[in-house]
Amino acid sequence: MSCLSDISRSSEYLSFRSSIPLRKIVVDSDGSKAWRIFDSGPKSVSCPLVCLTPVSGTADIFFKQIMGLTTRGIRVIAAEPPPYWNLKEWCDGFKRLIDYLELDKIHIFGASLGGFIAQKFTETTINCPRVASLVLCNTFTDTTVFEYNDSSALFWLLPSLVLKRMLMGNFTTDKVDKRMAESIDFMVERLESLTQSELASRLTLNCTPNYVQPQLLLHLPITIMDVWDESALSSGVREDLYKSYPQAKLAHLKSGGNFPYLSRSDEVNLHLLIHLRQFDGTELSPSYLNLHKLAAPSNQAEEGTVSYFNERDKFVKIS
């Protein structure tokens, strides 16, 4: 592209791209499909945080989570799948990726389609658990809430331009602040970089009728993260997600739009830290520091900017 977005030209993004290599990993037998990942943090951690992209995203949209959380010793992997045309293919490929990286279990931060597939992957591996916990951001449990259910089998025939126009409708820039506008520009840029098969396969997964069986996931620690301002998901879809996981902690952001991990990265990172804190001192900790440090004295104040965590009402207040 002739004109890069503000985020692409920012010193933080340029530092990220210059310090953390993009890896391409082929895990399928035909050798034609490569996962693209950014893997940052201590490799001795075998239960990292894995970030899964929405339809229009590439792995680097989580660069602010990678840059922010690895300073706390947390291993973060941002994963972008190759074209998979059904959920079984996707889940089989993701399982092979986890095996290739020699990970015991993972914590998943899934955004939109990434959150839906995270739930389906957890569901399909229930007999041999690979998921330690879930953070679901602006996501859903049932794909029938979207348009194009009837035509999803034809996406593979549509040209790239048509597929991109279908997604552009969610990228509204009305009534948004500067950070949200910058995140939209960056996501449009990422969308433009995707191939026809990548877009068509993701839209096929997003719109083919399917649903999660939440009763199979009730044993897992889950945090539901969403925004109170306008996003692509209706309030009804959000309510359905809350009802599906009554035990989940709720992490609400007053604003942030469709891409809060970019536009409100500080708040998102704080909620991720709060979610992961429950695994401190266990073998499921994603942090090298918590795996190896001695327990702090009980009278020692913890570092952080959280005023309190209301366990009963499941809300976090951020000062």
pLDDT of residue 2: 52
Q: What is the mean pLDDT of residues 177-204?
A: 93
Strands 249-253 and 222-227: parallel
Amino acid at 201: S
pLDDT of residue 308: 35
Neighbouring-strand partners of residue 106: 131
Using one digit for the tens of pLDDT, what is the confidence trace for 194-245? 999 999 999 999 989 999 999 999 999 999 998 888 776 778 888 999 999 9
**Confidence band (pLDDT; 50, 70, 90) for 150?**
low
Q: What is the mean pLDDT of residues 65-94?
A: 95
Report which secondary-structure segment, H or E, holds 186. Answer: helix 178-193
Mean pLDDT score of the chain: 87
Amino acid at 129: P
pLDDT of residue 232: 64
**Confidence band (pLDDT; 50, 70, 90) for 165?**
confident
Residue-range domain boundaries for the chain:
6-279
**Closest alpha carbon to 223 in 118, 142, 136, 140:** 136
State the pTM of this model: 0.88
152 or 56, which is more confident? 56
**Confidence band (pLDDT; 50, 70, 90) for 31?**
confident
Q: Which residues 6+ apart lie within 8 Å of 319 measured at CB?
A: 305, 306, 307
pLDDT of residue 290: 67
**Confidence band (pLDDT; 50, 70, 90) for 172?**
low
**3-class secondary structure, 32:** coil
Q: What is the mean pLDDT of residues 42-54?
A: 95
- Cα distance between residue 57 and residue 36, in whole Å: 12
Residue 317 has pLDDT above 50, yes or no: no
Residue 168 has a CB neighbour count (10 Å cut-off) of: 12
Percent of the chain with pLDDT over 70: 86
Q: Which residue has the tokens 């879809």?
A: 237
pLDDT of residue 177: 87
Percent of the chain with pLDDT over 90: 68
Q: What is the mean pLDDT of residues 252-280?
A: 94
Residue 125 has a CB neighbour count (10 Å cut-off) of: 16
Amino acid at 225: M
Q: Which residues 6+ apart lie within 8 Å of 254 measured at CB?
A: 227, 228, 229
pLDDT of residue 29: 82
- Cα distance between residue 281 and residue 283, in whole Å: 7
CATH code for the part of the protein at 6-279: 3.40.50.1820
**Closest alpha carbon to 95 in 154, 45, 141, 28:** 28
What is the crossing angle of helices 178-193 and 160-168, to 10°?
A: 160
Lowest mean pLDDT among 3-17, 169-183, 204-218: 169-183
Residue 297 has pLDDT above 70, yes or no: no
Residue 292 has pLDDT above 80, yes or no: no
